[in-house]
Amino acid sequence: MDAMELKAHAQKRAALWTKEPFDVATRDEVERLIAEDGDALVEHFYTDLEFGTGGLRGLMGPGTNRMNRYTVAQTTQGLAQYVLASDALTPSVAIAHDSRNRSPEFARVAAEVLAGNGIDVFLYPELRPTPQLSFTVRNKGCTAGIVITASHNPKEYNGYKVYWSDGGQIVPPHDAGIIEEVRGVQSMESVRWAGDEDQHRIHMLDVADDAAYLQTVKDLSLDQALRERGSDMPLVFTPLHGTGSASVIPALRNAGFRNVHIVESQREPNGNFPTVHSPNPEEGAALAEAIALAKQVGAQLVMGTDPDADRVGIAVPDNREASGYKLLNGNETGALLVHYVLRGRQQAGQLNTATDFVAKTIVTSNLMSDLGRSFGLQVHETLTGFKWIADAIRREEGQGRFVVGGEESYGYMIGDAVRDKDAVAASCLLAEMAHVAQASGTDLLGELEAIHREHGLYREALISQTRHGRSGKEEIATQMESFRTAPPMELAGEGIVELCDYRTSQRTTYPAGTSEAIGLPASNVIQFVTAEGSIVTARPSGTEPKIKFYFSVRMSPEELANHSSYTEAQQELDLRIDRLKEALGIKA
């Protein structure tokens, strides 16, 4: 459609929202958009908010292309139809929500629609973290689960993530099946709401369900001395106005940490996230208040979780930094956590090299793979997103046992009771790791350097570029297509020896030009590998209008040993990354 046709299409769709069954406030807002007759009207109505392979995520507001009670209701109707068509004898769905504006409302809407379709619902009455929902799906034997969250997105967003009976986010064939049902719900007239006679199907979860999850987290502890005596090590935690207040704080207390300092200005849940530009622990600014508090109390560890407490970012003491604390990236934290868990399990005689495995995603540092193999374990590499790690666990059920894994975007999982990234469990193990390191006369930076000296020094970087609106989507598509049709044969003087196109699931080796199957589901990702071992990956986000570029470079233990200092070796690798960025014309 051209611009005029698109506006006419949006106006026609918007007119339907000025009448019942839409509520008065929605009708008034849509009438205002129609009267203004600007780009906002088109953006709100030109298309339907897409239910992707994980669910919904988008800006809140009225319209077919926004998160609101009506798009949530229609989506839930489609999900209900799919659940009823499954082989579940007594279909049920667990629901949780985070601290975002309207999250409680959207959770209740979903519950009412499911109950109206004759499906039992297990609903958390207050905010709870995403990993707890994953646990609850399995603990209650549910057919599916829903979390109302937009993870770490800005305050204007909300989302709707769907889980299946294994506790993992939906993957084939369920994702395609649910998408088909959701697309078939074309109007609010198709939505079946719960009447008075259906309310008995909505079961409110309580403290017993919280206790079951917290006990599972506590059971992951590896240090006997900590379990017996607890810890007075000072640490700082911020929930960034999210569900960490209801989960991480009691979990740390349960794990024996008596000297936890909470950033009071960020303790209370608040969907406006008033003290941060973005509630994303991947961004250093989000931990600024926590680091300021850490300096006052001499904390050995700083931790912050995102609104649904599935991601955790950390900072550790470092007198070379102006703030006195160094922010670790997701790969560095992940390497520390994987090494600690594997070493602890090995020392306790709890590793089985015949069955146990580690899992990571294709954009996560290969250091995680190196660590897994050094302990004699298999390593499963998956597409980006924890749903694929959960899928790998499901496929190995009864044959292999998942031990630990993660992804570079600050998500980690220990054990398989939860089938999504779990910042609650990760926070407890990270605190334990810092406690054990301090007791042995070192710290987490010392532990990380020891890992690098044994397995190789890795440095990574991520550049995320946002493209807004319809034109932004087209720009990203054009950029990805150019990588496929005219790929570079060298980057910053490093010859390309391998090109992995995950959309076609083909790996091409150069200079021979021979290809082989990758063996993973199709995904819109391109990855370049150079002769020097550098890896550059381009991946459009599946949930945001962004394209992400991942860079990874490595120095062998032998090369590192020949450098005059560890810091200089890091700087040398950082310069290599800068040259790779420049070669692709990418600016931070």
**Integer Cα distance of 314 and 327 in angstroms:** 6
**Integer Cα distance of 73 and 113 in angstroms:** 7
Concerning whether 471 is annotated as a catalytic residue, the answer is: no
CA proximity to 483, closest of 552, 586, 383:
586
Vertex 174, ends 173 and 176: CA angle to 5°?
A: 75
DSSP assignment of 108-160, as one string? HHHHHHHHHTT-EEEE-SS---HHHHHHHHHHTT-SEEEEE--TTS-TTEEEE
Q: How far is CA 152 from the centre of its chain?
A: 8
**Integer Cα distance of 211 and 244 in angstroms:** 15
Can you name the residues that pair with 539 across neighbouring β-strands?
548
For 264, the token pair is 């009071």
Q: Write the single-letter amino acid at 283.
A: E
Whether residue 435 contacts residue 226, with contact meaning beta carbons closer than 8 Å, is answered with: yes
Tally of residues, the chain = 588
Whether residue 259 contacts residue 326, with contact meaning beta carbons closer than 8 Å, is answered with: no
CA proximity to 302, closest of 332, 334, 274, 325:
325
**Integer Cα distance of 254 and 546 in angstroms:** 39
Determine phi and psi for 458, rounding to 5 degrees. -110, 140
Which member of 103, 134, 151, 409 is catalytic? 151
CA proximity to 407, closest of 337, 463, 307:
337
Whether residue 222 contacts residue 344, with contact meaning beta carbons closer than 8 Å, is answered with: yes
**Integer Cα distance of 559 and 377 in angstroms:** 26
For 82, the token pair is 């799919």
For 287, the token pair is 């931990």
DSSP code for 187: S
If you compute the radius of gyration of the chain from its CA atoms, what whole number of angstroms results? 24
CA proximity to 185, closest of 59, 26, 56, 58:
56
Dihedral (Cα; 105, 110, 111, 114), 10-degree rounding: 160
Whether residue 266 contacts residue 238, with contact meaning beta carbons closer than 8 Å, is answered with: yes
Instruction: List CB contacts of 507: < 8 A, sequence separation 6 or more.
Output: 498, 499, 500, 501, 515, 516, 517, 518
Collapsed DSSP state (helix, strand, coil) of residue 553? strand
Among all chains, which residue has been given the structure tokens 């031990």? 403
Whether residue 326 contacts residue 346, with contact meaning beta carbons closer than 8 Å, is answered with: no
How many CB atoms neighbour CB 83 within 10 A? 25
Question: DSSP alpha helices (H): ranges in 285-399?
Answer: 288-297, 330-347, 367-374, 386-396
**Integer Cα distance of 391 and 420 in angstroms:** 10
Q: Give the active site residues.
A: 151
